[in-house]
Structure 1
Amino acid sequence: AGPYRCDNVRIRAQAVATNHPPHGAFRGFGAPQSIFALERHMDKVARAVGLSPEEFRRRNFLHEGEATATGQVIREKIELDALLKRAFELSDYHAKTKKFAALNAVNAKEKKGIGFASFLHGAGFTGSGEVYLSSVVGVEALATGRVRILTASTEIGQGTTTIFSQIVADALGVDFESIELAQPDTAYVPNSGPTVASRTTMVVGKLVESAALGLKQTLLSSGLLQASYSQDEFVAACRAYVERYGALRSFSKYEPPPNVFWDDAKYQGDAYGAYAWAVYVAEVTVDLVTYETRVDDFVALQEVGKVIHPVLAAGQIEGGVAQAIGYALYENVVWREGRMVNNQMTNYIMPTSADLPPIRVYFEELPYAYGPSGAKGIGELPMDGPAPAILNAIENATGVSFNEIPLMPEAVMKGLTNQ
């Protein structure tokens, strides 16, 4: 039921046999699809009951102390009303709604619209997944004073190396340049689980932080390091410890946060330890000659706990929004006789920088008590909201409801000519 209070939920699922090749999980794993349907439906229901999409959502937003559809009581502070208000201010939503209505009344060649989506994404594996994984992370200090992080989490461009190094440097109070990551091979490092599910920073990063603090405590307890110390004193303490006692390592194993419980049999309880919350606003132009849609502006506002590295965090959001614009408007997989026929870069169309709007990224920070420095996971969040925001904007522009993605020009033409 998304970020909404809904006391009565019935879920029906159907398995379908297909001759298409199997698909794999990729950035969101079901959430982009379900949130697309939910947020499109929220706009439709709002209009059916005579409310604006904004007011309908405000009346049904979850608040602290209320329960999700799985029975999870929201114990963290959430401010969805304030998030929606700020997103509208940043995007000039109300003024543009009026402006576009006036422009559309006199322009027969193109229509402009603005739409939004409010949504959430849980960080970490669902339910008891993290408990089953029992991830372990280690931190090792060498006699030279260099600190090595022992984790199986891999750097795939999202900034893991930088984030983990920053977490350890902050926890130990040492220079960032003195931190390194061991090769993420479980023949040499503990199994900290896969690099998926928006878990690397929040779940594994918390273990990294705990292991680093454990290593610091070992040095303090040995008497080789005082409570207040310099980089040189830390190096000297590491050298003395290794010479006297041998390897200086600390390990941390995953334990669920307090009051987090999941019932696998009933599929009820705390689905995630924490959620990121967001409101995205899209501005579009629909060409009534070519039936193409262009995204002109995009505001992405999210509450993701404490932002550890603002540049990397913004990059994650920008990349996710760009990918989701392709998902919404361009990346159509065409099947014929069980085979994908547009399997080349010449006919499988992905958006380039020339196709993308300004993506304006903003953060609200409400630190999460059980994340490293208060951080939550954000890797999958930006894939969830753009598609429904864009199609809500297209409906605002044209007055026609579209329910398929990617929304190709052929579908727009059919919808507009059959209205």
Structure 2
Amino acid sequence: MSRFYFYCFLLFITASCKKDADLLPAIEQFVKNVKVKGAREVKFDHETRIIQIILPADYTDDLVRLDLDMYKGASLVINGSDSLFSAEQVQFHYKATTSVVFNVQRDDTGFTKGYSVLVDHQGKIDAEITSDVLLYPFMGDTSSIIAKVRIKAGVGTISDDLRSPELLTGTLSDPEKSFQITGQYSVSSSLINFISDRDILNASNLLFSLSYNGKNYTIPVPVKISRAPLDAYIPSQFLSIPLTRNRLFTIYGGSFLKDETYRVKITNDAQTDPVWIEATYKNRGKLTFTVPSQLAEGNYLISYYEGDNLISSQSASISDNSKVKTVGLIWTQQSECPSNDVLYQAPQKVRIKAGLDVYAAASPFILQGQYIAVDPNKTLPDLELKNAGHTYVIRAKVNVDACYGDRSYYIYYGAYTIPAHAVGGSYEARFIYADKEHSLTYWNFIEVY
């Protein structure tokens, strides 16, 4: 009898020595423990499933690696985007990124639990600017100054929530002029964005500093601000109807400068001399100009200049008749998505070999919602090519751009085969509609060879 009680005692002792976690039901058995080589400390809260990793100042690796000790029957979920994960190891780039979440699954039940990883690097901040520091127009006379930054040390995972008390921030300052502005670091883009109403393009003593969680770092060399690539345009929605003569229009873009001269050049191949119009500076993102009342109705190439330097060009029709039709654009290279590749690019003069196709879209666009099936027999206008000696009227082969409006609309446009027997030369191009209505002539004479 005493031997029986002895065995019972041994069984009791053995059971008591088991870890509490081992007694969990299978449905709760996921990750036992986590180890991180080189870490000063790893805190694993099994209740919240938050893993906090503290790295020492001398930890220089760009990656942090978590070796997972998992229960039998549990496995790490590896998705296509988790290229650095392996069967029992989670590794990721931790410097100035958001917290990383990984999932572990029970193979027997399919149940999954997520674990969040936070990393703190105890070293001093070290960083570098990896792009030009560029100035963009923002609102009115304020500008957005953007710098791309690479964190080299001193910052682990951070929050991208602007309400967080632990944001990575940047500061641009000029101590001699008592000037200072602060911007927030964006985890998703690695950019710091500053907003300023001061003219700092020519500043020569700007200091760039970073601050995070009580730590500070200043780039050792003063930074120079450059203007972002200049742009000028009338938004496309305002060009779907003609520009009215003797009316004020706004040019958007920038960054425009108060002390510069801006002009608009209006021309087409049918007129001998271009028309130049002064544009008025309104703010860093806007200019205005008035279409002259004496300008003939037609389709034109409109070009924007800063001083003598061309900024950009776009085609537009000028007419007091809001319902007038025109050729929006003609191009020569086939594209699945002209609205992405062609329609909003700078217009080019068209040169085409007889027997080949040109592509042409009407303005306003011929649109159809994608909830309706494409009509392969859609009636599109004919394309007329005409000069003093020859006229060719070409039927359209229906094409569809399915990319417009985030793929919510179809744009119908035509492919037009230049007759193989067409005589070489320059031709006016216009549309002829089913009701015999003629569009305005395209700004560019089409050269056939």
The TM-score normalised by the length of structure 1 is: 0.18
Higher relative contact order (CA 8 A, sep 6+): 1
Larger radius of gyration: 2
Structure with bigger strand share is 2
Structure with bigger helix share is 1
